[in-house]
Amino acid sequence: MIEPKEYARRRKQLMRIVGDDAICIVPAAPERVRNNDSHYPYRQDSDFQYLTGFGEPEAVLALIPGREHGEQILFCRERDAEREAWDGARAGTEGAVERYGMDDAFPIGDIDDILPGMIEGRSRVYYHFGRDVEFDTKLIGWVNRVREQIRRGARAPHEFVALGHILHDLRLYKTRAELRVMARCAKIAAAAHLRAMRAVRPGMNEHEVEAELLHAFRKHGAVPSYEPIVAGGANGCVLHYRANNAPLKDGDLLLIDAGAELDCYASDITRTFPVNGRFTPAQRVLYDIVLAAQRAAIAEVRPGRPFIAYHDAAVRTITAGLVKLGLLKGGVQKNLDEGSYRRFYMHKTGHWLGLDVHDVGDYRVDGEYRELEPGMVVTVEPGIYIAPDAKGVDAKWRGIGIRIEDDVVVTRGAPEILTSVVPNDADEIEALMAKAR
């Protein structure tokens, strides 16, 4: 759990960056209707969560550096005994101050009357335009109300500034508290993958294995950080396979890409293993290439190395392996230069990880890949995918999809693998599955 004082520190850090003549406005995520009067499970906006830890909808954060009567303002729902009997407890304006460390709080219903006065006198408005058209319109209306008072001496903002560039760079560097939450989240996801490995048998359906994952998540208070991918056989060649409704066949591989979310922080793990507990020779040789690529990539997750370095290491290892097997023709460097490896490995080797699975933060700075620094968290996920209808490929390779993914923290020294408890060595996987049987 992240303490209120850390959220307060984040808000103060953001205010120092934007300066005393600015105002930052960050709305909570709206509730989303699933169908008729049923809603999707509520999930807070990641930027709002990062700055407040406040998990309710119908709220707006206003950060007003240097404001005499309070810099950190939250507009939120009031306490309402009748509504709380239906929907659960609310913090209310009192709780926003007492529990969440705000300087002041006002009812969300009063925002039209109060927020324009807080915008008045500020020269720049920092905000995420384009996320919520309805809120965009409200904000423009509030600013226009201030502009209407210019002849009476009011000073209206003359600039809208994208908040993401600043805020997302702050989110890229994880604190000790964040890393503790992410380690716990990774532990839950790892337990789910172990449960799935032990449970799978030929003849089961993909959705039965998905149920094992979901059981482990919810048992430990987590939810999926994205729709799990449970892909048997050739389905593993579909990068974002989500149907999860096919039978699992003896002799096929099962690719599971599934992560847990805890306190809005994500984990992201992929493992590929044989449905019957034993790799075939063809599966094993391809698997070992992917594993070697992942190990080569993780070795590059060190401070001072450019972000692209670990992708390049994985690509070189995979290309060399495919050339050796004859799946790629010609020399390694030729295939690298021509990009012919992309026929079998078509995605990048990883991404930032944090409050979002594909977390925010620029990958390039001034046109160059940014250097990795302590506190950043990345996924490392090389793969090989040989489509079932791949032309010019021996039948023994076709329909094999393999990916191995772990969550890795950049430290001052060797990388820390948060998800290492789930075996990725082929012998260890077979041993674990044999013991479960």
Catalytic residue among 168, 271, 316, 403: 403
Annotated catalytic residue 351: yes
Which among 43, 145, 218, 347 is annotated as catalytic? 347
Active site residue 193: no
Catalytic residue among 168, 302, 351, 406: 351
257 tagged catalytic: yes
Calpha distance 79→92 (Å, rounded): 5
Cα-Cα-Cα-Cα torsion 213, 214, 217, 223, nearest 10 degrees, comes to 130
Residue 268 is among the residues annotated as catalytic for this protein: yes
385 tagged catalytic: yes
Exactly one of 240, 366, 412, 437 is catalytic; name it: 240
358 in catalytic set: yes
240 classed as catalytic? yes
Active-site residue, selected from the candidate residues 300, 405, 406, 407: 405
**Annotation marks residue 136 as catalytic:** no
Distance CA(379)–CA(382), nearest Å, equals: 10
| Residue where the block lists tokens 């040989």 | 386
How far is it, in rounded angstroms, from Cα 259 to Cα 28? 24
**Nearby residues of 388 by Cβ (< 8 Å), 6 or more positions away:** 234, 237, 398, 399
31 vs 40, 41, 93, CA distance in Å?
7, 8, 20
**Whether 406 is catalytic:** no
**Which residue of the set 56, 120, 261, 268 is catalytic?**
268
Q: Which member of 56, 257, 300, 356 is catalytic?
A: 257
Looking only at the bridges linking them, the beta strands covering 159-162 and 124-127 are parallel
Residue 260's nearest CA partner among 207, 229, 230, 216 is 216
Catalytically annotated residue among 359, 381, 406, 407: 381
Active site residue 381: yes
Which of these is catalytic: 50, 126, 341, 385?
385
Q: C-alpha distances in angstroms, 297 versus 114, 192, 229, 262, 381? A: 52, 25, 23, 27, 9
Q: What whole-number distance in Å separates Cα of residue 229 and Cα of residue 244?
A: 7
Given 32, 39, 83, 358, the catalytic residue: 358
**Is position 347 annotated as part of the catalytic site?**
yes
Active site residues: 37, 240, 257, 268, 347, 351, 358, 381, 385, 403, 405
